[in-house]
Structure formats: C-alpha cells, structure tokens
C-alpha cells in the first residue's frame, strides 16, 4: 500500500489523500479501479478502492524482434528509448503524459496517430490478447482488467519531423493543471468548437474553468474542487445540448466510489 495525495499526484491537482494498493504480481484485481499516472482522471473525495502497478512493470525490452513495454512505463521514458534506438511510431508520446497502461486503456493519441496503430498484443490477467481481438476506437479500448504489458512492432526510423509537429500541435495547450481534453470530439465535429459556440470559453465555477484559450481544457485555477469540476462539466454538457443538440461525452474518467 502507498498513500497518494491526488491533489499533487494527479495532473489536474484535485483529489483526496488515500491508500493505493501497489500491484507486484499478476492476479485478480477486479475489486480495484486501476490508475496509472492520473493524467486523465478526476478522483472524487470518496473514490473506489484504487490500485496501481509497481516498479516491476516499468520496463522496455527488445525480444525476438518485438518491443515489450511494461504497463507502468512512463511515456517520456518510452519516447527517449525510441529516439535513442531509432524506432518509429512512438513520436506521438511527445508532451502526452501517462503510463503505457493508461495510454492503452485510452487508446491515447492525436488525430490519426493512436497508440493502437502499431500494437501487436496486450497482456492482462488472462494472458496475451491480440490487437484484432480488442474492440477499440477513438480514445477507447475495451480491455477488461489490469494492463500489465504490451507488445509492439519494431520499425526503424524515429521521425524528428513528426516529433516537431506533435510539439507544435500541443503548444497551444493551457499552462494550468488539467487532465487533457475534457470531452471527446463528437463524430465530424470538435468539442472545443461546440463549447466555444455555446459561449463557454473561460466559463468558470469556483476555481475550475474551461480555458479561455482552449475551451475543451478543464483547468484548475488554483485550489479548484471536485464539486466545482463536476458542476462545470454538467453545465457545459447542458448548454451544448441546448445550443447544438449534441450530447458531449466525457474523455476524462471520473473515479467515484
């Protein structure tokens, strides 16, 4: 067990100080909600039982021509490894905070570049599951249970131009604490544009706001609370529905007990 203070650990700087179970062995953790780096999380004051992967699952290994990456491995470490070893297809991790487990569960990415694109298989408590057997799509992967490891193709040619492009695309992200994009883009539209059109740029309750530079970023102006975050989310959903008749879906995961 480890005590984690989510008001400092999570990227949005909200949440209680609670005990989190550290996973050191592969077994059944179905009674727990699994967390990674908490870069996409909003943890309520009364969260479910939480668990996270221990150091043993922070590794990168080349074996039989494939790349094996542990679920606890941070994106920055994977990106540095790929650059050093001249391996392609991990450039999207530039300024994308998270662990491999969280990235797989979210099918993290930007535009057409997604972490699933060059995946071979994922290891969960029931063993290895091939990519073709996992239903996945935009910011979504139907993976039950804990993700311990993933296997990728190794293709040579780390692309520095692509890296620069990701850097530029993410340069306009607000500097305040956030959990990345708050809502998913609805098919054929952009959540940020709908929020903007609904007059929600800069909309604020307490110290939680939709950024005035990028409306789809729910930001913490300092000391923002879970209650205010949920109130901003709810009001934004209501207003976009009234104005545009579109039901915005949360990209951020709220962990409520």
Ligand X SMILES: Cc1cc2nc3c(=O)[nH]c(=O)nc-3n(C[C@H](O)[C@H](O)[C@H](O)COP(=O)(O)OP(=O)(O)OC[C@H]3O[C@@H](n4cnc5c(N)ncnc54)[C@H](O)[C@@H]3O)c2cc1C
How far apart are alpha carbons 149 and 209 in whole angstroms? Answer: 36
Shortest approach of ligand X to residue 187 CB, angstroms? 17
Query: Is 91 marked active-site?
Result: no
Nearer to ligand X, 7 or 239 (CB): 7
- 106, 182, 195, 218: residue in contact with ligand X (rule CB under 6 A): 106
Give the span between the Cα atoms of 125 and 144, in whole angstroms: 9
Does residue 41 bind ligand X (CB under 6 A)? yes
How do 33-35 and 50-53 pair as beta strands?
parallel
Residue 113 is encoded by which pair of tokens? 């570049």
Q: How far apart are CA 165 and CA 163, in angstroms?
A: 5
The 10 Å Cβ neighbour count of residue 29 is 18
Q: Using the Cα atoms of residue 177, residue 178, residue 179 and residue 181 in order, give the sign of their dihedral.
A: negative
Smallest separation, CB 96 to ligand X (Å): 5
Shortest approach of ligand X to residue 60 CB, angstroms? 15
**Residue 44 in contact with residue 12, Cβ under 8 Å?**
no
Of 14, 18, 34, 194, the one binding ligand X by CB under 6 A = 34
Stretch that binds ligand X, among 100-108, 157-165, 189-197, 208-216 (CB under 6 A): 100-108
Binding flag, residue 11, ligand X (CB under 6 A): yes
CA angle centred on 71, ends 91 and 146, rounded to 5°: 135
User: Does 102 interact with ligand X (rule: CB under 6 A)?
Assistant: yes
139 is catalytic: yes
Q: Which chain residues interact with ligand X by CB under 6 A?
A: 11, 33-41, 53, 71, 96-99, 101-103, 105-106, 108-110, 139, 146-147, 173, 178-180, 253
Instruction: Point out the residues that are catalytic.
Output: 139, 181, 251
């Amino acid at each position: 067990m480890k005590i984690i203070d989510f008001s400092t650990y999570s990227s949005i700087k909200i949440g209680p100080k609670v005990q989190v179970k550290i996973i050191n062995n592969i077994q059944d953790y179905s009674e727990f909600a699994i967390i990674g780096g908490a870069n996409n999380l909003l943890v309520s004051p009364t969260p479910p039982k939480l668990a996270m992967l221990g150091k043993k699952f922070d590794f990168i290994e080349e074996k039989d021509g494939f790349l094996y990456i542990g679920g606890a491995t941070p994106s920055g470490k994977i990106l540095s490894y790929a650059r050093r070893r001249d391996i392609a297809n991990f450039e999207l991790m530039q300024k994308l905070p998270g662990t491999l487990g969280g990235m797989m569960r979210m099918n993290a990415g930007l535009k057409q570049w997604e972490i699933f694109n060059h995946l071979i298989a994922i290891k969960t408590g029931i063993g290895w599951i091939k990519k073709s057997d996992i239903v996945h799509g935009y910011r979504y992967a139907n993976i039950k249970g804990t993700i311990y490891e993933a296997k990728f193709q190794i293709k040579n040619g780390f692309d520095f131009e692509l890296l620069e492009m990701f850097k530029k695309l993410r340069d306009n992200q607000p500097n305040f604490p956030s959990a990345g994009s708050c809502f998913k883009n609805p098919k054929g539209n952009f959540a940020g544009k709908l929020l903007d059109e609904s007059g929600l740029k800069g909309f604020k309750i307490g110290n939680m706001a939709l950024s005035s530079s990028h409306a789809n970023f729910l930001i913490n102006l300092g000391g923002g609370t879970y209650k205010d975050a949920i109130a901003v989310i709810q009001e934004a959903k209501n207003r976009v529905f009234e104005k545009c008749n579109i039901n915005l879906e949360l990209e951020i995961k709220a962990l409520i007990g």
